[in-house]
Each structure stands twice: as structure tokens, then as C-alpha cells.
Amino acid sequence: MVLEIMHIDMDAFFAAAEQLDNPELKGKPVIVGGTKLSKRGVVSTASYEARRYGVHSAMSIVEARKLCPDGIFLPGRRQRYAELSERVFAIFAKYTPLIEKLSIDEAFLDLTGCHRLFGTSVQIGKAIRQEIKEKIGLTASVGLAPNKFLAKLASEVDKPDGFYIIKEDEIDDFLLDLPVGKIWGIGEKTADILLGRGIKTVGQLRQLSINLLSSLFGKAGERLYYLSRGIDRRSVEVNNELKSISYEETFQNDLSDKHRLYARLAVMSSKIARRLRMYSLQGNTVSIKVRYGDFRTYTRRLTMAVPTSTDDTIYSTAKRLLNKEGLLNKPIRLLGVGISNFSTGDKKQLSLFSDRIKEEKLSKTIDGIKDRYGDNIIKKARNLE
């Protein structure tokens, strides 16, 4: 077995995103999932400062408030977290196409065949962590091991901002004293049955035969037998194919000012274009979505002859759809824009359009500036209300 499987988990992702966007929150107990006055809801993420008080994910907001009365409670911004997640996964994709997305903030990476280009698995892991830190401003913890089960366990060892490696000859030393609850698939009910037999550690679990475990837990028992020995034959299942990219915004008050609507459309178009370029994609079909105060909703789309990943083309096409259909003739509650029908782009065809090439080069230059200095460092005038 070799070190080919990596598990990467962003550290306290939602809370870290809030601290990134608001530096005044750094070093403070941030709890994402509700406001301080919420009577319902659960904690989505707690910063490491809040975790010192015993606050953790899936805990009720009411309980979190009791444990951490001075905590900073925030309702969360899913769209912002999705934006940051896209940037993180774009970094993963630079090193390997074999990515299994587990959630918005964690994934397995299979590094098979990547070493000639990027060095050893250890070098790749360090490069990914460093790039996330430098380009996005967040930290990630990495686990490197011969299989998925061990890699996920490894990523939890040295959080936050950790990098832990489990080599083949270290598997027994790592597993034997581990609580059985750490094994993937062992829930509360299974743990209670094992505890009733005096089984508290993985080492003790290994004393049970595969026949006994199968009789107790069926197929799951056979899996426990092998996992307790560090054996996991599951492969990384690639599941990160994008079908479309879209943004929408619901306004606090219905909006009728065309210039303000165009500005919001421009901002959303810029975000979409940047995400396309992160994945080296181009889209052929631009769509818009409009919802009025009475909740009547309209969608329109246009498929272009030439695919694009530029702000200008997405914005101008979306704007044309809005005006052509007369959708701006009454106040708007929600406005959205999207792109789909992806391709990697036909460069020969694109070369016939010199203006489009100039737009691509300008966009990539702007991306580089934003990556280095932050998203708000440079904006087009039309994006300003």
C-alpha cells in the first residue's frame, strides 16, 4: 500500500469564512446557525474559540447560548460559503481530477498518477494547504493514508491547520487504542452493543471473529472486521461534475430602478464568470430568473453560438433577455442569472473573435489581482449601484 488517498477538511469552515470577511471576529467565539435571540435552530459551525466552551455542530442554539453566553451568533450566508467552496475545490482540481466531494468543505482526493507533475503525495498535500491559505485566507487540515478510512481519521488528528500521515507500518499503532466510536459506520446503537460486550477500543474489537461480527451486525459486521484492521477497499468516487452555475438575489424591498437592477445583474454575472474560469469552463446558455411581488416567476434563456467565460458576454446577454421580454416593467422581488451547457471551449473557433480573446485575457488578469489582494480590490464601474 502507498500513500495515494488524501482527505481534506476545511477548519470550522462557516465560522472561518465569517472571520475572513470580518477581521474583527478573529479570535472570538463565532457560532453560525442562528441569532442570539433564536429559540430554534442548531449550530452549523462553531469557531475553535467557541468550541473551548463545549459548543459543537448539531447542538441547539439555545444550549450553545447557555454554554457560551458571550458568543457571536450569526445566521449564516450559504451563498458566500458556496463561493469560497468553489475556490477551494478549484485548487483541488489543479492537482488531480479524482475528487470525491463529501460536503461543501471536505473531500477525498486520489493522487494516483499525479506525482510526476506535482511531486510526492506529501508535497502535494503541503502545496494544497499553502495555496488555500495564501489565495483564499482559510486553513485546511489534511490526512494522508493508504485508504479513505485512514485518511479521514488522519485529517482529524491535528486540527486546525494540521497535516497528519498514516503510513502502512504505522496502522496498528494508530488504530489499536482508538475508541471504537471512531470507526466509520459505528453509531450509538452499535456502540452500545459493543460496550455491552466490553469492547471499548479498536484493539478489543479485533478480538472478535468475522463470523461473530457478521452474526451481530450482518454485512456491517464484516465491514467492521476489516476497518478495525485498517483495510478499506472503497475507491474515490468522482462526483464533482458541474451542470450549471447561477446566482440569485431576493431584495428586501421590490426593486424597480433599472440602473440598480443592472448593477446587481453585473455583480452576479461577474461571480459566475469567475467560477467558470476557476474550472477552465465555458458556457453556451445564459438564463435569467425574475420573480415579482405576487410571486409570479419567469425564466428565460438564450443559447449562444460561441461559448463564453467572460463577465461582459454573460452580462450583456442577460441584460438583453430582460429587456427583450419586457421583464423590467414592474418592480422585481428576485433577480437571478445563470449559465449552463458547459464545454472546455473551442479555441480555434474562439480565435475568430478577437474582442472575445481580449476579454478573456483581461478577465484572467483581474482574477489574478483578486486572488492576491481580495475580491473587493477591483470592480467594474457598472457593478456599483
Residues noted as catalytic = 106
H or E element in which residue 31 lies: strand 30-32
Cα 53–58–64 angle (5° rounding)?
35
Distances (CA, A) of 182 to 79, 151, 155, 245: 32, 13, 13, 36
Q: Among residues 358, 346, 276, which one has the least CA distance to residue 314?
A: 276
Spatial contact of 104 and 85, defined as CB atoms under 8 Å apart: yes
Q: How many angstroms separate the CA atoms of 282 and 325, rounded? A: 25
Q: How many angstroms separate the CA atoms of 29 and 22, rounded? A: 13
Spatial contact of 337 and 314, defined as CB atoms under 8 Å apart: yes
- Give the three-class secondary structure for 120: coil
Q: How many angstroms separate the CA atoms of 192 and 186, rounded? A: 10
- Tell me the three cell numbers of residue 266: 453585473
Spatial contact of 383 and 312, defined as CB atoms under 8 Å apart: no
- Give the three-class secondary structure for 19: helix
